Chains A and B, each alone.
Chain A
Amino acid sequence: MSIFNFFRQAPRKSVAEEAKERLQIVLAHERAAGSSPDYLPILQRELLAVIAKYVQIDEKKVEVSFERGGDYSTLEVNIELPPPSPDKGVRTRGTATNTAGGDAASAAKAATAAKRA
């Protein structure tokens, strides 16, 4: 590192700039009708009902989280399934991605699911 680098500070975002960015992101979502994840509790209930048809699950072992981003948002559903045999646990994990401003219906277009043993 040269001595010049020492003085040349990385262009740090000011607090005000950060505030502006956060506001722009959250408002872009709030303005787009239907983008606010009011549906999360219902989604969680319905998911549980579907899964419960096939396996026994513990309601407390289900996590639904939503994170807003600038270009896309992530919906993450984490369900811990009971072990198929007494010694193994299975976690099912699904992620839905949606582009900013897109409606909820198209949200699930890039859904991926991964199963881990």
Chain B
Amino acid sequence: MVDSPAFVKDATCIVGIGQTEFAKALEPSEKQLALTAIKAALDDAGINPSEVNGLSSYTMENVEEFDIARNLGLGDVTWFSQVGYGGGAGCGVVGNAAMAVATGQCDVAVAWRSRKRGARTSRPWAGVGQRVSGHPQWSRPFGLLRPVDEVAMLARRAMHEYGWTRDHLANVALAFRAHANRNPSAQMYGKEMTRQDYTDARWISEPLCLFDNCLETDGASAVVIVRSDRARHCPQPPVSIHAFAQSINRQHQVMTNYFGDDPLEGPAWACARRLWSLADVGPGDVDVAQIYDAFSPLVPLSLQGYGFCAKGEGGPFTDDGALEWPNGRLPTNTSGGGMSEAYVHGFNLITEGARQIRGQAINQVEGAEVCLVTSGEGVPTGALLLTAAR
């Protein structure tokens, strides 16, 4: 157990969620998308923009806090902060807002992510110069260019070391696709996929194929956080932020995490140790999970990191429809996740987690009281435990 008082535990709730349309190419600017999602979240919470005095975002966010504030007509903002590492940031962005509200730095905090990824120039590996500086100089010159290549390296090793197969990765892709097929907000709504479609898909970076990758999405999502005593008076069922943790595990290197004693034991492991030590619940109590899925192998790697199975068992854990709603033992990414709903740097996993605890999800897990949400494995990461407020 952590030997310090848990200031954050159940002190705050998510009381509003909002999002834009998700599509490969949307007309509005990133700024307009951010404003639309935040306004929707505030309307959902029944809170006027003038009451917002905390802003939490990603370092990769292009829409600046002052611009959010002067467009939405916020009051005096007294707390603002950002979290780095792209897909590793989401739960930290929400968790930091929870800490700020819990400690009295602000009263109403908004956390959001807005992206126009569909634009080719926004790909992180696009437009790289002839010279590679910093840590990518140890990988990019050799043609390990894209995030998918970097994750594929870990996937191949996991297949070798643990005996995982492409079938395990297909389990992940197919479960999330089936969830998205029922979700009208999802980019893959109604677009079914079979195991044969997966097997026949073109390679992107062997051993990963097209359907092991997340989508390219324009869109935004946002949440509103207040103290739990106030949350009881908000119109929606309050979603308690029960626990929150982040981690940069020892010896870690961002994305090309090949250099520690065991590169398959990524930041999820250290994050999980802290998270569970702060919580009243354990992995066996989780009713539904939202696991960061920029690439399918991150799901079995996270499942074992967060303690749902023994080390090495993350692949086989996905068998027998384990991740599928409604009958799997751990329905996961119930809106379709980054692979089939939308890729908003993992922020749509947080809004879906909140919907599940409210009992308002399209693929609602009956009686869901505990939801684990994770950010990216393979980068400095974070996780949230969302629970039904008592």
A binds B: no
Interface residues of A, Cβ cutoff 8 Å to B: none
Interface residues of B, Cβ cutoff 8 Å to A: none
